[in-house]
Every structure is written in structure tokens, then in C-alpha cells.
Structure 1
């Protein structure tokens, strides 16, 4: 990361993670290394536990053991998986926000509806025409 910042990067986006402390440790370590640029957390909603385990293994991201329990028995229930995914991602964002994070990057994997649901859970709504006109 330091080489990229030294080469001119003005901010960084992390790979996905599932525990807020993972991000906070990374951010603190970066600050200790003299990195002052913004570090944006990468959030990936989990729709398929087996798939996220494979992806995590490829990029070295830890999947917390408690996550398996939440998806247990939902293989044939996509609506329930989507609800769990949105709730987990929104809670992660809330905890990061409480720790001072103000920007998030969502790895949507072409699931716009899921990202919309997460934003809705976080209280973010599209502007209405009246709001756009007033702005």
C-alpha cells in the first residue's frame, strides 16, 4: 500500500472482510506506517457461504466461524440468504461508521437489489424529484 501511495494514489479501497476490527487494525497499521490517505473499507455482502469461503481462501481473507451458522440450512432459500446478507453487511457498515468510517465500497457482484436493500437498512434513500428540485 505504501508503494502505491508513494506513486500517487490518493486513497485506497480494501479487499473485503467481515469483522470491523480487521479494518480498524489495518487502518491503524497504515497510519503507523505514515499513510495518511483515506482507506475505504471494501464490503462484500455474502449471498452464498460456500462461494465466499472459496473466494476468501484465494485472497487470504478470514471468514469468521459464526458466519457458517447464520447460513446453515439456507442453500435452497435465496430470499432468506439475501435477508441475512443485507443484515450482516448493514451491521458491518454501522459498526465501521461508529468507528469513524464515512465512506464504503460495496463489491456488489452484479446484485444491485441487494446493495439497494443494504443502503435502505442504513437509512440511505434515493432523492425524490422534490428533493432534487430543492437542492
Structure 2
């Protein structure tokens, strides 16, 4: 039978706890069976344990699948964010590069005109 203690009042027994308790009871029944225990009770415990373990495995598998799906979605969001950040950074760098080139073109064209005037004055 399930024993009550103060910590269990806060946390109700889970399927995992239930399976653990059934395993303990099954071991106790095997010991009693050797000493003339009830075979029917042992069979009921075995059946209950098998079905509970199968249900626990299914729940754990579902939880694992949901976790994988969540991780995949999270990674896709991260990849998309990184791609968006990369595109924005490249666009910003490209614009800065164009601004610098335009500034130098203005400066160099002014210098080029000055040099042409100097060379035409010498001739």
C-alpha cells in the first residue's frame, strides 16, 4: 500500500512512482509466493506492471518527440535570425562602403581637376 509522508502531499505520485511501487510489491509477492503466496495476486501485479511500464515508455517517447520538435523550431528561429542579421549587416556595410567610395570620388575628382588646371597652366 502507498505510504503517506509530508513531501508527497506537495507532489502527487506520478506514473513513474507508481511503477516503482508496483515493482517493489511484485518483489515482495515473489518472496511470499515461495513461502506459499497467492499466484493470482502475483499475476495481477505482473500485468499491471507491464501495462504501466508500456504507458510510461509511450509518455516518455511523446515527451522526447515534443522536445525534439521544440529544439528544431528553436534552431530554425536562431538560424533565420542569424541570416537576417547577416543580411542587414552586409547591407549596412555595403551602404557604408558606397558612401566612402562616393566621398573619395568627390575628393579625388576635385584633386584631379586641380592637377589638370596646374598642368594646363604650365603649358
- TM-score bracket for the superposition, by shorter chain length: under 0.3
Higher helix share: 2
Task: Determine which structure has the larger strand proportion and give its number.
Answer: 1
Which protein has the larger Cα radius of gyration, Structure 1 or Structure 2?
Answer: 2
